[in-house]
Structure 1
Amino acid sequence: MWLRKTKYTFLIVFIMCFTFVNAQNIAWKPASFEVVKSNYKTFKTTQYAHVFSNSKNNIVRLAPELEGLTGVTLPLEQYKNGTNAPLKLKFKENAQLLIGVFQEKGNAEYVQLTEADNAKLVLENGVTVTGLPAVNVYAIPFSKGTHTILQKAKGLFIVLGAVKSSQNLVSRNAEFPDGKLWNPTFIVEGFSDEKPLFEIIGGENAPVIDEGSPGTEGIQGGFEGGRVVKIGDTYHMFPTERAGEVGVEMYYDRVKTKIGHWTSKDAIHWKRESTILQASGTYAVTEDDNPMNDRRAAIWSYMPVFSKKENKWYGYYLAYTVHKEIEPNHSFGRIWRCESTVEGINGIAGPYKDMGIIMEPGLDSQPWEGRQGVASFFPYQVGDKYFGFYSGAYPFASWADYPKKSGKGWFVALAESNSLEGPWQRRNKGLEPIKSIHPLFVENPIVSQLPNGVYIAIFDGGPDGWGHHLPNMMGYSLSKDGVNWSEARYWPIETKVDKWWDIMRTPLCLIPEGNDVYTIVYNAIDLKKRFHPTGMVKLKLNREVMEARLKELK
């Protein structure tokens, strides 16, 4: 009898707790209002929402109770320096206005509420806005009619929306992080003051290649990086296959890698054709860049490029030394060039023969290239010259830190050559990486040209995870001359396709399909899986914006 009663009591408590928790995750019911005599725009309160005009500050964490409400976009600088015009709202019913207050005491740039404001704290750490302090959300009651909002208050705040006066707002701590961890702020395509260059028009709501897909037998860890090209009606993909070995821990997936060749007619259904390259998977015996070590222990980032002059496909790829204990375990990258033994555009399937190393650590390397550099390479033509993005990662503060004491940062710079074959030289002797795109993270850029001749580089924008707070989106940068690159914009593709990933990784292509539609095949990570899948999304180019961006470029 006691056991049955205890079980029953526990069940009731569990149901009550479950109901309470889930009640917090239900969006609050909005109340209607309009902005009075102002050109302030409104926004939908959701992830990536652009909360201030003339800024790059966006929401990256949001309590689910706030999802779908209507906020008001306030001018950033006017509110921070107190020169803003009063904000007037007309409520069509009794309502509770939700105000986000930045938690930085003593900073006059941010509003401070008082008892006279009649505000109730409903969400502690309820919103994260890039580049700005943690946000507490308060509810302020207003009756039906027109009201001036926080008339006597000075400083920046967020208008996140209004909810019905009858809405029961249960206070809680959402425990979202401080937005200053996202430093610097960044531009999210479609969530800023400017018109987007690309509209996300759809794609696949699930991976196009996942664990168990035909051809993935023996690939333990899925895919990361590489390139997709389209010849006629056929897509050719050359991904890094994180093969590993059955029964060996998943970290080895990053070591014993393969470069595969896959084909598809629609970028959705893929067939594995062959193995182009196979890494040895052999760990290093010394900590430094020593010829005693196998320098092809891991192979990554295969980039096929067609040489019109030689009428054959070249492949550029990365080979690493791998250490079992030092982070990063991929070290001292070398870029190899290979070429197809079959001439013509249809010789893309190979077989390929190695032609030697074109870039490696050496006398012209710089500390920013770090323990992992040279970490990727992609060549492209500008006039009579060729440029190549090369990268470094885990930088050394100085050569005194070599070989183990590395820092954080993923950077790119340019090499140049008179031909695809080389020799390739670091521009400016490699003294500085390109930080105009993003100052902390640009990885695996692939370059092509838009219809007006502007160069576009697409790249991995870095994770929001593993201790990093980066955009967690694929990004792009533009260049008029192929040398000077613009600040990045990032694609929030989860606004149009179901988000099946936790960590977004690398775009493999930007393929024009006609009518200004482009295909992107990409890799991403579902943290619940060992296998890293491949996805696909479609974008549409806005030619009017393209021409406007051309005029803005140096």
Structure 2
Amino acid sequence: MFLNNTKYNSFLRKVFLLMFLVCFQFSVLAQNQTWKPASFEVLKSNYKTFKTSQYAHVFSGSKHNIVRLATELQGLTGVELPLEQYKKGTNGPIKLKFNESVQVLVGIFQENNSEYLPADKLPNAKLILEKGVTITGLPSVNVYAISFSKGTQIINPGKGLFVILGVVKSSQKLEFRNAEFPDGKLWNPTFIVEGFSDEKPLFEIIGGENKPVIDQGMSGTEEIQGGFEGGRVVKVGDTYHMFPTERAGEKGVEMYYDRVKTKIGHWTSKDAIHWKRESTIYQASGVYAITEDDNPMNDRRSAIWSYMPVFNEKANKWYGYYLAYTVHKEIEPNHSFGRIWRCESTVDGINGIGGPYKDVGIIMEPGLDSQPWEGRQGVASFFPYKVGDKYFGFYSGAFPFASWADYPKKSGKGWFVALAESNSLEGPWKRLNRGLEPIKTIHPQFVENPIVSQLPNGLYIAIFDGGPDGWGHHLPNMIGYTLSKDGINWGEAHYLPIETKVNKWWDIMRTPLCLIPEGNDVYTIVYNAIDLKKRFHPTGMVKVKLNKDVMESRLKELK
């Protein structure tokens, strides 16, 4: 009995769909399989090897590192080539010894420039991965395979930069595909990842929790729709005290409102893992602005963020510094014209950290001494710290104006910090504005929410949000830190790849809340991060260990 046309066509569609799904599954399976490495030896040179993985620094004497790579390449062994010698053509040949027939995987940069080796200089090369690797600050990379027989072989294709990403067995089947990874020039400038660069790491990541320590559904989160972002954790005796920004929002209202109707909560813990919510310190109004400019008709406490508790020994009480925004529903950024408030605990002594707190007044706000780089969002955070007999404070700005002619709506992109100074924690605080520019020695585009402390040798360290790799931004997506010898001049940022020792449950890393010494050179970091699959932004915890030898060498290096 024959099927009628309708039934037959339906049957064929089902067969083709099944075949497509099977082929697709095989394709995905192939992409998820790493290629089998072949062992080799680098002869008569000081070239080092590296593990081909995310964050690997692929050239000696440089900060260029891998931020995207095809799954097939994961875990292979590459050769770290000297960057400048290959760019200038002053390098010598590479001698590699193979114990069997192999295929060497060479990355070729896709830019017609004399600094880069062209693909036609590779003998008998086969293209296997188009756009297969992304390396910070450099053009898109195509990966080629070149066959070599057993024994000592010389690789010397000529002048121009390329990268050796791995060596696989000659029997390894290499299927071509386009991985479609973006151009590495989107990640500019390049950056230093602790443990992957030529420099010895100041901190070793030693472990932590493999899942959030506060997540949706846990006790205390019942009235928080959107999770956490920013704030500070301090330790008093054996108790951790956390003051996060709670993206409270409102039940039944979409997630955009989580960033407006915020609270400052007080949480405590004995181990930085199990947390209990104690109280609400402040709650924002959640009322939107009615004008586009910085106008007193608007509610200037519509959203409250970034609470920083600091103990004032002279006054014998806790001070809190926090940020209050005007919020416009339609103009980016929605958070605008930030003002920094100072409050004081009404309970004296170190144990008065839980408050209640009373407002004293505004210590920094947009005004005649503001600069265009502070932008529509500034003043966007504040953290005070002591240097000698004076106090300095990191304050920030974001969404800068090119000039005041762009006020109030025409803003650009950038998240910057600068310093204010005062003779006391009470103020008045004065912008330093040396050269009328923000501090760009740390990172020229993104530094957010720095928290300052001192290492055992007196070095000042600021730990901060290093910026997302997401939402159209191409930033390190890691917790960052910067060092200073005098508390005023700050060095280049280093970034902590904590997912090398804990399960990466997040997509976008956000703000560290502390760097708390625990003894034996171990420090606790509590941080906020984002899992894009959920509305709620959880909180995590990780432990790092300080290398004192590296700390002393960094002190000598800093001017």
TM-score category of the 2 structures, normalised to the smaller one: over 0.9
| Structure 1 residue 154: Cα displacement | 1.6
Tell me how far apart the structure 2 counterparts of residues 152 and 312 of structure 1 sit (CA, whole Å). 68
Q: 2:146 aligns with which of 130, 140, 149?
A: 140
Tell me how far apart the structure 1 counterparts of residues 460 and 28 of structure 2 sit (CA, whole Å). 50
Q: Which runs of 5+ in 2 are unaligned?
A: none
Report what 2:385 is aligned to: 380
Report what 1:14 is aligned to: 21
Report what 1:285 is aligned to: 290
Tell me how far apart the structure 2 counterparts of residues 420 and 382 of structure 1 sit (CA, whole Å). 12
Report what 1:34 is aligned to: 41
| Structure 1 residue 503: Cα displacement | 0.7
Matches within 5 A, 1:175-186: 175-186=180-191
> Is 1:274 aligned to 2:290, yes or no?
no
Tell me how far apart the structure 1 counterparts of residues 202 and 157 of structure 2 sit (CA, whole Å). 40
Matches within 5 A, 1:108-147: 108-114=114-120, 117-147=123-153
| Contact 2:310 2:320 (C-alpha < 8 Å) held by counterparts | yes
Report what 1:459 is aligned to: 464
Q: Secondary structure at the match of 2:249?
A: coil
Evaluate the alpha carbon distance shift between residue 320 and residue 430 of structure 1 in structure 2; reply closer, same or farther with a 3 A threshold. farther
Tell me how far apart the structure 2 counterparts of residues 49 and 152 of structure 1 sit (CA, whole Å). 24
Q: 1:80 aligns with which of 81, 87, 92?
A: 87
Deviations 1:162-200 (A, max 9, x none): 111111111011000000011111111111111000000
> Is 1:209 aligned to 2:211, yes or no?
no
Tell me how far apart the structure 1 counterparts of residues 11 and 176 of structure 2 sit (CA, whole Å). 34
Deviations 1:213-245 (A, max 9, x none): 110001000000000000111000000000000
Letter in 1 for 2:295: N
Evaluate the alpha carbon distance shift between residue 302 and residue 93 of structure 1 in structure 2; reply closer, same or farther with a 3 A threshold. same
Q: 2:360 aligns with which of 355, 362, 366?
A: 355
Tell me how far apart the structure 2 counterparts of residues 354 and 429 of structure 1 sit (CA, whole Å). 31
Q: Secondary structure at the match of 1:464?
A: coil
Q: 1:509 aligns with which of 505, 514, 520?
A: 514
Tell me how far apart the structure 1 counterparts of residues 122 and 249 of structure 2 sit (CA, whole Å). 64
Report what 2:70 is aligned to: 63
| Structure 1 residue 249: Cα displacement | 1.3
Task: Report how many aligned residue pairs link the two structures.
Answer: 552
Matches within 5 A, 1:185-264: 185-264=190-269
Report what 2:407 is aligned to: 402
Tell me how far apart the structure 1 counterparts of residues 30 and 292 of structure 2 sit (CA, whole Å). 54
Q: Secondary structure at the match of 1:529?
A: coil
| Structure 1 residue 92: Cα displacement | 1.0
Evaluate the alpha carbon distance shift between residue 235 and residue 102 of structure 1 in structure 2; reply closer, same or farther with a 3 A threshold. same
| Contact 1:364 1:429 (C-alpha < 8 Å) held by counterparts | no
Tell me how far apart the structure 1 counterparts of residues 122 and 501 of structure 2 sit (CA, whole Å). 43
| Contact 1:416 1:426 (C-alpha < 8 Å) held by counterparts | yes
TM-score by length of 1: 0.98
Q: Which runs of 5+ in 1 are unaligned?
A: none
Tell me how far apart the structure 2 counterparts of residues 357 and 293 of structure 1 sit (CA, whole Å). 16
| Contact 1:97 1:162 (C-alpha < 8 Å) held by counterparts | yes
Letter in 1 for 2:211: A
Tell me how far apart the structure 1 counterparts of residues 119 and 178 of structure 2 sit (CA, whole Å). 19
Deviations 1:273-294 (A, max 9, x none): 0000000000000000000000
| Contact 1:365 1:430 (C-alpha < 8 Å) held by counterparts | no
Tell me how far apart the structure 1 counterparts of residues 198 and 327 of structure 2 sit (CA, whole Å). 45
Tell me how far apart the structure 2 counterparts of residues 28 and 429 of structure 1 sit (CA, whole Å). 54
Letter in 1 for 2:101: N
Tell me how far apart the structure 1 counterparts of residues 15 and 133 of structure 2 sit (CA, whole Å). 38
| Contact 2:58 2:64 (C-alpha < 8 Å) held by counterparts | yes
Evaluate the alpha carbon distance shift between residue 290 and residue 128 of structure 1 in structure 2; reply closer, same or farther with a 3 A threshold. same
Q: Secondary structure at the match of 1:166?
A: coil
| Contact 1:110 1:157 (C-alpha < 8 Å) held by counterparts | yes
CA-atom RMSD in angstroms: 1.1
| Structure 1 residue 13: Cα displacement | 3.5
Tell me how far apart the structure 2 counterparts of residues 147 and 388 of structure 1 sit (CA, whole Å). 58
Tell me how far apart the structure 2 counterparts of residues 430 and 345 of structure 1 sit (CA, whole Å). 39
| Structure 1 residue 4: Cα displacement | 5.3
| Structure 1 residue 115: Cα displacement | 7.1
| Structure 1 residue 15: Cα displacement | 1.4
Tell me how far apart the structure 1 counterparts of residues 56 and 417 of structure 2 sit (CA, whole Å). 29
Structure 1 residue ranges (4+ consecutive) displaced by more than 3 angstroms after TM superposition = 1-10
Matches within 5 A, 1:407-422: 407-422=412-427
Evaluate the alpha carbon distance shift between residue 228 and residue 116 of structure 1 in structure 2; reply closer, same or farther with a 3 A threshold. closer
> Is 1:90 aligned to 2:97, yes or no?
yes
Evaluate the alpha carbon distance shift between residue 430 and residue 344 of structure 1 in structure 2; reply closer, same or farther with a 3 A threshold. farther
Q: Secondary structure at the match of 1:16?
A: helix
Q: Secondary structure at the match of 2:90?
A: coil
Deviations 1:440-460 (A, max 9, x none): 000000000000010000000
| Structure 1 residue 90: Cα displacement | 0.5
Q: 2:109 aligns with which of 97, 102, 112?
A: 102
| Contact 2:418 2:433 (C-alpha < 8 Å) held by counterparts | no
Q: Secondary structure at the match of 1:468?
A: coil
| Structure 1 residue 9: Cα displacement | 4.8
| Contact 1:366 1:430 (C-alpha < 8 Å) held by counterparts | no
Q: Secondary structure at the match of 1:374?
A: coil
Deviations 1:310-352 (A, max 9, x none): 0000000000000010000000000000000000000000000
Letter in 1 for 2:49: T
Tell me how far apart the structure 2 counterparts of residues 452 and 310 of structure 1 sit (CA, whole Å). 27
Letter in 2 for 1:114: D
Deviations 1:82-103 (A, max 9, x none): 0001001111111100000000
Letter in 1 for 2:63: K
TM-score by length of 2: 0.97
Deviations 1:420-439 (A, max 9, x none): 00000001378110000000
Tell me how far apart the structure 1 counterparts of residues 62 and 122 of structure 2 sit (CA, whole Å). 30
Letter in 1 for 2:58: V
Matches within 5 A, 1:306-455: 306-428=311-433, 431-455=436-460
Percent identity, please: 82
